Amino acid sequence: MQVLGVSGNPQYAYHQPLFGYAPRLGFAYDLTGDGKTALRGGWGMFYNRLDGDASVHPLSGQAPVVYTQTVTNTTFDAIAALNKGPLDVNTLSVAPNAPNAWAQIGDMPRDTVQNASLDIQRSIGNGTVVDIGYTFNWAYNQNLAYNINSIPLGSNWPFNTGNVNPAQANTTLAPIFLRSKFPGYNAINSRAFIGHTNYNALTATITRRLLNGLAWGATYTFSKGMGTTAFNPVVPNNEAWNYGRLNSDRTHNLQINYIYDIPGLAKHLNAKALGMVTDHWQLSGITSIQSGAPFNPSCGLASGTAPDYSGTPDLTGVRCNVVGDPRANINQNNGNGTIFFNPAAYALAAIATGPNNSIVGPPVLGTQGGGAGNLSLPHYTNFDVTLTKSIALGSEKRVLKIQAQAYNVFNHTQISGIGTGMQFSPTTGALTNASSLGYANAARPARILAFSARLQF
């Protein structure tokens, strides 16, 4: 453990090249020569700064500068007794350190994003423009946390019989004795510039400028966001384990916006006083229709202690085995409501066992993919509407605006969660909670109304 800025050590935790080149290119071309059709495109390279809260700030307050030990409601005799008798690292008065560190040497690469787009725009008259395009976003050298003192797969007993705990039969040694890379330490969190994401989207937009009191627009995006946003060095292939859909991935996204100045009646009826009630109303809103967020079901035991599938505390739990198509054979008319995936398409991973429940096979990780999930929650449709009344107070400079806003104005149910935690019997392996799986169990907020009054002068 080295202290920055002391004994010849560098002052900073990491260093990056002095210069970062960020070229940008763009163009626009009139395809038809009449000013109504344009081909536009561009490409650029951009850099992100490291987040200090996630990377550098955790380096403070650590050994060998700072040691922290907490003892609550005990005596000196009890503290002295902690280290007597059989060694138990879980009760040592000074526990093994689990520091945050920078283990890299030399210049760190820059977290980089490359963005490109190509669009065709066409004016079709009446103040209306149509735009169809493609957008690409590629990010790389993203900063990911990982444990540089991890325990390899299959290290625990009984995967490795040499690591049995001699003080307690049928148990494995404490993790500190299995971390051979940096003995005497627990997990050591460091950083690696290996994360990457990509985003591809086809877009279509139509915009109508204000005409006869009405302006509106609609944008549709068909997209896919993928990437590797986590790093676990114990798995054989981190890309295969962690690459998948991003949390932000939404396949379809339609947004419609509009503003409409409602025609007044006072002028038509030649009743100026009536205009205080009937005139100067405006209706505006946004309608959203969007695919749901990605998710993966989880597999576990209904009771008892889950077995050690991986043989390392640095990869706890297990992913499901995918044994079928989770979108097939979905019964929509069973009386319990709509079900959104087929639990029969998943099975709990099984460990090969031998005599006396010994493990004779390799660690089991499950076949379900990585990322945020291979399935999607139900799509949602939402209507947000605003109604505004403007009242002139003697002149155009003094206006009182009374506004009513309605979010989810039709109070439409928008599902935000479904039952995904599958539980299997530890004795038979059968699914025990099928009645709750795949059904909606959470929703976005119901209708919300907000009222305001604003005086402009």
Q: Which of 153, 151, 172, 175 is nearest to 163 (CA)?
A: 172
pLDDT score of 218 = 98
pLDDT in tens, the chain (457 residues): 788 888 888 888 888 888 889 999 999 999 999 999 999 999 999 999 887 777 788 888 887 777 766 677 778 787 777 656 665 555 554 566 788 888 777 788 999 999 999 999 999 998 999 999 999 999 999 999 999 999 999 999 888 888 999 888 888 998 888 998 888 888 999 988 999 999 999 999 999 999 989 999 999 999 999 999 999 999 999 999 999 999 999 999 999 999 999 998 877 777 777 777 888 899 999 999 999 999 999 999 998 888 888 999 999 777 999 999 999 888 665 556 788 999 999 998 888 776 666 677 889 999 999 999 999 999 999 999 999 999 888 777 899 999 999 999 999 999 999 999 999 998 888 999 988 899 999 999 999 999 999 999 8
Residue that has been written with the tokens 């005596």 in this structure: 75
pLDDT score of 279 = 87
C-beta of residue 225 within 8 angstroms of C-beta of residue 248: yes
Q: Domain for residue 439, yes or no?
A: yes
Q: Domain for residue 312, yes or no?
A: yes
Q: Domain for residue 234, yes or no?
A: no
Q: Domain for residue 349, yes or no?
A: yes
DSSP 161: G
Q: Domain for residue 453, yes or no?
A: yes
pLDDT score of 39 = 98
Provide the residue range defining the domain that includes 428: 294-387+403-457
The number of folded domains in the chain is 1
For residues 331-352, one letter each, b for 16 or more C-beta atoms within 10 angstroms of the residue's C-beta and e for the rest, the string is eeeeeeeebbbbbebbbbbebe
Q: What is the mean pLDDT of the chain?
A: 89
pLDDT score of 88 = 58
C-beta of residue 299 within 8 angstroms of C-beta of residue 422: yes
**Distance of alpha carbon 261 from alpha carbon 283, whole angstroms:** 6
pLDDT score of 83 = 59
**Distance of alpha carbon 250 from alpha carbon 253, whole angstroms:** 7
Name the phi and psi angles at 152, rounded to 5. Answer: -65, 160
C-beta of residue 274 within 8 angstroms of C-beta of residue 265: yes
pLDDT score of 422 = 95
Q: Domain for residue 219, yes or no?
A: no
pLDDT score of 341 = 93
Left, alpha or beta for 406 (phi > 0: left; psi -120 to 50: alpha)?
A: beta
Name the phi and psi angles at 369, rounded to 5. Answer: -70, 170
Q: Domain for residue 457, yes or no?
A: yes
Q: Is 30 helix (H, G, I), strand (E, B) or coil?
A: strand
pLDDT score of 84 = 64
C-beta of residue 258 within 8 angstroms of C-beta of residue 285: yes
pLDDT score of 76 = 79
Q: Domain for residue 39, yes or no?
A: no
- For 65-124, the pLDDT digits (tens) are 777 666 777 787 877 776 566 655 555 545 667 888 887 777 889 999 999 999 999 999
